[in-house]
Amino acid sequence: MKVKIGEVFFEQKFLEDEANFLAYLRRVRCNPYDLEAHLALGVIHEYRGQPAQAIGYYWSAYQLDPHDEYIQQRLRELLSLLSQSLPGKLL
């Protein structure tokens, strides 16, 4: 089954496979410049309902490739959702 995150469809098996998740974590630890691993971890955390963690990995991916439209879109959408859920204003 495919799951839509943003404008992209992902295999549900990819998103739920713990070994896959751990492999991406190892890749990020071994190479902090691994764009694919940061992006995959952002997608996986978003699927798992962990927006703060997803934003962290998407932000790392954005720092590696600030012109990637998918990364920009995911950051905008998640930051917008989080800001709407805040009780009151921060300032």
Domains of the chain: 2-84 (1.25.40.10)
The band of 90, judged by pLDDT with boundaries at 50, 70 and 90, is low
Q: Which residue shows structure tokens 């295999």?
A: 11
Question: What's the predicted TM-score (pTM) here?
Answer: 0.87
Q: How many CB atoms within 10 Å of residue 39?
A: 22
Determine the pLDDT at residue 19: 96
> Which residue has 């691994």 as its token pair?
34
Q: What is the pLDDT of residues 37-66, one digit of tens each?
A: 999 999 999 999 999 999 999 999 999 999
Mean pLDDT estimate for the chain: 91
> What pLDDT does residue 88 have?
66
Strand partners, 11: 2
Q: Which residues of 8-31 are buried (b: 16+ CB within 10 A; e: fewer)?
A: eebeeeebeeeeebeebeebbeee
